[in-house]
């Protein structure tokens, strides 16, 4: 297949480029590098089936030749990013999705939207199933990301129903692994960097809030299975093994061999306003329809991630 990946120089997008090239596909990577980095795709320079185009997908997208699929991964994806770039986050979710869908329609290509567990907001239902509509504060600081992705899902389904575009929606839960940015602002790079530097691990609140963490290779396999399937309804992709942030901090310290203490902070910071108290995917749909579930244990995934960060700190 000949595949366009928007946001292809980002954390997930670059791993997706690798995965698709390894399976013999031709990949066009498009990114404006607001949060992505050419360092993530530098090893692909000169590859005969890889092309990088620097472009902001909120503007008209031109790609010469045919396309078999458009995978829309362009968006800031961490609180530190979408609080710094609120307008850009809304624009890429709305205008960027519209432009990417228009391209898929024109090329008669399959379209896959990288949506997010953030569409569920601070959920009142646990674990989260795809038929749950969510609990989102549309005017809070996190609303720029949550509502951008909710709009993107609505736009995707509108193109599917009105124009017959062959669409897929992946609701991606917390994913981690090599190529996450040190200043990403999310819990994995924060804790790992603090542990490796011997600094205190800063836990917001009392650490009782929960998350579940999926290793990047598992997530990318799920994305590919969804792309290859005929499933047009949203599908949760993530690891259902849940733990508190405090438990997670202890695990990072143990696996990294750090002697860092844990400190509890009560930030006034907008990053944690409307922060979900629980987050865990129900992956019944992915198991049933895609035959997919995570394979990499948290311990193994964290070991790989810690070693990657160790060479960069």
Integer Cα distance of 242 and 278 in angstroms: 9
pLDDT interval class at 270 (50, 70, 90): very low
What is the pLDDT averaged over residues 56-63? 98
HSE of 288, CA atoms in CB hemisphere, 13 A: 7
Exposed / middle / buried, residue 232 (Cβ in 10 Å: 0-12, 13-18, 19+): middle
**SS3 call for 301:** helix
Exposed / middle / buried, residue 272 (Cβ in 10 Å: 0-12, 13-18, 19+): middle
Q: Which of 211, 233, 248, 205 is nearest to 289 (CA)?
A: 233
HSE of 121, CA atoms in CB hemisphere, 13 A: 20
Integer Cα distance of 307 and 179 in angstroms: 12
CB of 187 within 8 A of CB of 201?
A: no
pTM (global) more than 0.85: yes
Integer Cα distance of 253 and 288 in angstroms: 36
pLDDT tens digits for 24-41?
999 999 999 999 999 999
**Could you give all domains of the chain from N- to C-terminal order, each with its CATH number?**
2-176+214-240+282-290 (3.40.50.720), 187-210+242-279+297-310 (3.90.25.10)
Looking at the chain, how many residues does it have? 313
The reply to whether 132 belongs to the active site is no
Catalytic residue among 82, 85, 120, 145: 145
pLDDT at 267: 67
Integer Cα distance of 41 and 207 in angstroms: 35
C-alpha distances out from residue 260 to 183, 200, 247, 249, 254, Å: 19, 5, 14, 10, 10
Integer Cα distance of 208 and 129 in angstroms: 22
- Mean pLDDT in the chain? 95
């Amino acid at each position: 297949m000949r595949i366009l990946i928007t946001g292809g120089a980002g954390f997930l997008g670059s791993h997706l480029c690798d995965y698709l090239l390894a399976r013999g596909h031709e990949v066009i990577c498009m990114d404006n590098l607001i949060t992505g980095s050419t360092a993530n795709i530098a090893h692909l320079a000169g590859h005969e089936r890889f092309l990088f185009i620097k472009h902001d997908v909120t503007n008209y997208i031109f790609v010469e030749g045919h396309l078999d699929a458009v995978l829309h991964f362009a968006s800031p994806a961490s609180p530190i990013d979408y609080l710094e770039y609120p307008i850009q986050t809304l624009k890429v979710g709305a205008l960027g999705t519209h432009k990417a869908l228009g391209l898929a329609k024109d090329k008669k290509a399959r379209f896959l939207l990288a949506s997010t567990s953030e569409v569920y907001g601070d959920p009142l239902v646990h674990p989260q199933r795809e038929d749950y509509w969510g609990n989102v504060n549309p005017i809070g600081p996190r609303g720029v990301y949550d509502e951008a992705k909710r709009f993107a899902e609505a736009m995707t389904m509108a193109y599917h129903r009105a124009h017959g575009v062959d669409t897929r929606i992946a609701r991606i839960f917390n994913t981690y692994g090599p190529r996450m940015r040190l200043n990403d602002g999310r819990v994995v790079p924060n804790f790992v960097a603090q542990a490796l530097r011997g600094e205190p691990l800063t836990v917001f609140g009392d650490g009782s809030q929960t998350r579940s963490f999926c290793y990047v290779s598992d997530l990318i396999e799920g994305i590919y299975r969804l792309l290859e399937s005929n499933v047009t309804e949203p599908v949760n992709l993530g690891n259902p093994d849940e733990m508190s942030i405090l438990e997670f901090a202890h695990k990072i310290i143990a696996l990294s061999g750090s002697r860092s203490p844990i400190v509890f902070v009560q930030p006034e910071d907008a990053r944690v306003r409307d922060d979900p108290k629980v987050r865990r995917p129900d992956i019944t749909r992915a198991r049933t329809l895609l035959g997919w579930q995570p394979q990499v244990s948290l311990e193994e995934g964290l070991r790989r991630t810690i070693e990657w960060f160790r060479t960069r700190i």
